[in-house]
Structure 1
């Protein structure tokens, strides 16, 4: 197993400008070893090959499998089949009015002419409201969950494994209390996604609580983190491009495709891991069973070999090449919900404003791996 480090993903210059650093690595060393991230894979073709070969590149990277993301077929298949209907076209159509209502309420609170910190003044409250509405969780959870996000960010910044584990345990406790409350309510429990999930079966057997917690954790952490990051990235990108703002205000049907293209260039989630089940060659590296690879979404979606100038905003790209929501058996099942929410919030934000602009001398603060986007970004709003 290789012990030579090709780069340091925690170096200050990498953390200060991750996208620039990943672009450089894609050209200099497309499969790069480091102690922190094992073998990082930067090129689109290599990442796509890994995604389409789950037999060689396993999603099971931890001792306790995350349901279903940390499972491989065939164990993964029945759970995936169970989850997909929650994001069906019919469910998305039913949720759209509530989604648009939440967006209208949040944009109505924007300053008439002033500054806001887009992440905690808007993006995180948006993702919290959406997640609680989709899962049927009470509004009184908004404040505790927002506090939990603060704790999670501090734990990630600390780099201490014990702190990160403690935050995760706290979140699981919140979910278990929600499940207990529904069991206590019996037939009076709300008819929502959480209650329905509790009554699902897999191959004729009820789902164990630890699996329910794992599914809800995956849905919720993805929503609270990645969706909030996406809102911040899109808002900041548009703030720097007034002509694109005007184009989307005049043509709101373009918003969904524009969101995907912006998030191709600026990934809300930096990377994901796989473990080799057999020897394989990736790029110029021979890797062995048990070694780990890190799929660098934030690099693969900017690969010049596929996208030309990665910073050129284009709405005519082949959507099948955009790895924003993954590819293959582990493609994000919640992509329809994410696209619905992001389209609704960006449409509402543009409709409620005349101008969104950056704040002079207030550079955004990048998030910490594995999150993309910003921890903090200040914008000026004119309505």
Structure 2
């Protein structure tokens, strides 16, 4: 899935990024690396370095001269040579893309989306609770985010089941390391993005509420953003919006299933759900982290990362760094730094849609908890693989509220 790296014989093998995992084993590994090998190297996926401590990662992602994203931004790298803005661009090229998307993600726009998103959540959650058994990662966590994408991007409602199915197929292909299947499903998202951009060119909408129209209306120092990059950006936001929820929703449900007292507390005191979301994001970031490439030799903790090598910023490790978070493996409402986690990244590539994601998660938990009296695991958890972190399959038994 990646090109061979001729330098691998000269690089250390500190951990195996392709080793089978359980729900807890990645966090056990990252705890060890933070303590013993905070700048680590794996020979998996063509070889890459990993930063595992919070401050080291913050320093790196805010140093845009040393750590660039335009070569590799995710490991395993399956870009097939295509740069997908905005993540695949560095400042200042990155700025117009971010400026356009930010317009459509202001608080007023997000608040306006809540009633329609809740209606979708009520319908889909009522269905799975009535069934009594579900795989939350493969059902609600694919269809509800598809509705979020449909409403934010102003797509026809017929796109929702299509996007949900593409998300399921993409996840299966990615876990199986089936490059051909990944390409096929990726092309489906390109086709959807291209059709949206074609329509907005002919029928522009407000750049304050329509992402494709905002990108088409944006200007760089050289003129409009090229259409191929507009299409690529729409495709990228679809991928991120569809791929992150299955492991995240799954992890949240695994945690709730393991803690019936927390379930009931959140049912009795739903005003605590926003704080619960921050702790669950910290504990279960759905992406281990995004990658950068060094532009110069970089030394940290006595190790030197040579210029031109890929480096993963392991956000999921940083979020449990004992130097920043007391009792980091425990769920706590009372953290003074409860929103200091890196689940949304940091720096210029910090997630533009964090406000929309928080709304999505709040609606999800409110509707799940209000419609159930008990949440139980109902089978084996199947784990996703890098770069995602969390369950790819999360079978649940749901007891309806009485």
TM over 0.5: yes
In structure 2, the CA distance between the partners of 1:44 and 1:192, relative to structure 1 (3 Å rule), is: closer
Give the superposition deviation at 1:370. Answer: 1.0
- The 2-side partners of 1:267 and 1:288 are apart by 28
Q: Give the alignment of 1:350-365 within 5 angstroms.
A: 350-359=369-378, 362-365=379-382
Structure 2 residue aligned with 1:368: 385
Structure 1 residue matching 2:324: 3-state secondary structure:
helix
Aligned CA distance change for structure 1 residues 40 and 18 (closer, same or farther; 3 Å): same
1:260 is matched with 278
Alignment of 1:41 with 2:58, yes or no, is no
Q: For residue 238 of structure 1, report the CA deviation from its aligned partner.
A: 1.1
Report what 2:235 is aligned to: 217
Aligned to 1:149: 167
What is the rounded CA distance, in whole Å, between the counterparts of 1:146 and 1:336 in structure 2? Answer: 22
Question: Would the aligned equivalents of 1:262 and 1:313 in 2 still touch at CA under 8 Å?
Answer: yes
**Cα shift at 1:16:** 8.5
Does the Cα contact within 8 Å between 1:61 and 1:273 map onto a contact in 2?
Answer: no
| Alignment of 1:73 onto 2:105 | no
Shift of 1:223: 1.0
- C-alpha distance in structure 2 between counterparts of 1:181 and 1:191, whole Å: 17
**Range 144-153 or range 267-276, more displaced:** 144-153
Look up the match of 2:345. 326
Q: Does 1:201 align with 2:218?
A: yes
Task: Report matched runs for 1:119-268 at 5 Å.
Answer: 119-183=137-201, 186=203, 193-197=210-214, 199-203=216-220, 205-268=223-286
Of stretches 60-69 and 213-222 in structure 1, the one that deviates more from structure 2 is 60-69
Q: Distance in 1 between matches of 2:124 and 2:164?
A: 16
SS for the counterpart of 2:129 is: coil
In 2, Cα distance between the equivalents of 1:7 and 1:352? 42
Which of the pair is proportionally richer in helix?
Answer: 1
CA distance in 2, matches of 1:344, 1:283: 42
Flag the 1:358–1:188 CA change in 2: closer, same or farther, 3 A: closer
Alpha-carbon separation, structure 2, partners of 1:54 and 1:320: 23
Q: RMSD of the alignment, in Å?
A: 2.5
> 1:303: which partner in 2?
321
Q: Quote the Cα distance in structure 1 between the aligned partners of 2:14 and 2:386.
A: 18
Q: 1:169 to 1:344 in 2, by over 3 A?
A: same
Is 1:6 aligned to residue 14 of structure 2?
yes
Indicate conservation of the 8 Å contact 2:117/2:147, yes or no: no
**How far off is 1:381 after superposition?**
1.0
In 1, Cα distance between equivalents of 2:109 and 2:86: 20
Alignment of 1:262-301 (within 5 A): 262-301=280-319
Unaligned runs of 5+ in 2: 1-6, 73-80
1:127-174 Cα deviation digits (max 9, x unpaired): 111111211112222333233223312321232444433432332122
Aligned-residue offset at 1:189: 11
TM-score (norm 1): 0.91
Aligned partner of 2:363 in structure 1 is 344
> What runs of 5+ residues in structure 1 fail to find an aligned partner?
none
Q: Distance in 1 between matches of 2:354 and 2:206?
A: 28
Residue equivalent to 1:54: 64
| Partner deviation per Cα, 1:314-342 (whole Å, 9 max, x = no partner) | 12321453111111222111101000111
